[in-house]
Amino acid sequence: MKDEWIQKQVEAGQAPEGQEGELYKIVFSALKQEAGFKLPSDFAGRVAAAATRPAKSFNWDLFFLVFGCTLCVTTSLYVIITSHATLSVGVFSFFSGYRWLIGFALLFIGLLNWVDKKWISKAAIH
């Protein structure tokens, strides 16, 4: 109750006597100080420009991506057909002798990722 009264007095510009009043005056004065963080001077200009920028009428990035992929697939098919190539596992047949080791490695990496996500990352945040 006493604190509430002192806070009201200090806020109203009165100067209550005693140590509590003095301490509250320091607190109220500090609360009027600007926070340390300030936005850069060009912030308003940059954000306004980004927000009002007209939307692209044609997405050239997407066009080149689709065009490139189509060209790549078409060329690959043409080469496969004209060269009478046959599909084979080739160098990957080497792995068949180590299937348990590879299986274990994949499982182990997966487990490590799970442990990291579940326990370690959370601990790092706190």
Q: Which of residues 7-36 bind another protein (CB under 8 A)?
A: 7, 19-20, 23-24, 26-36
Residue 74 and residue 87: Cα distance in Å, rounded? 17
- Does residue 112 touch another protein according to CB under 8 A? no
Half-sphere exposure (Cβ direction) of 8: Cα atoms closer than 13 Å: 5
Which amino acid is present at 71?
L
Smallest separation, CB 121 to another protein (Å): 9
Of positions 14, 44, 63, 75, contacts another protein by CB under 8 A: 44
Of positions 87, 89, 123, 125, contacts another protein by CB under 8 A: 125
- Which of residues 30 and 89 has its CB atom nearest to another protein in the complex? 30
Residue 81 and residue 99: Cα distance in Å, rounded? 33
- Does residue 118 touch another protein according to CB under 8 A? no
The closest of 53, 86, 14 to 6, measured between CA atoms, is: 14
- Does residue 90 touch another protein according to CB under 8 A? no
- Other CB atoms within 10 Å distance of the CB of residue 7: 16
* Residues ≥6 apart with Cβ < 8 Å to 3: 20
The closest of 10, 17, 50 to 32, measured between CA atoms, is: 10
- Does residue 114 touch another protein according to CB under 8 A? no
- Does residue 122 touch another protein according to CB under 8 A? yes
- Which of residues 57 and 86 has its CB atom nearest to another protein in the complex? 57
Enumerate binding residues for another protein (CB under 8 A).
Answer: 3-4, 7, 19-20, 23-24, 26-40, 43-52, 122, 125
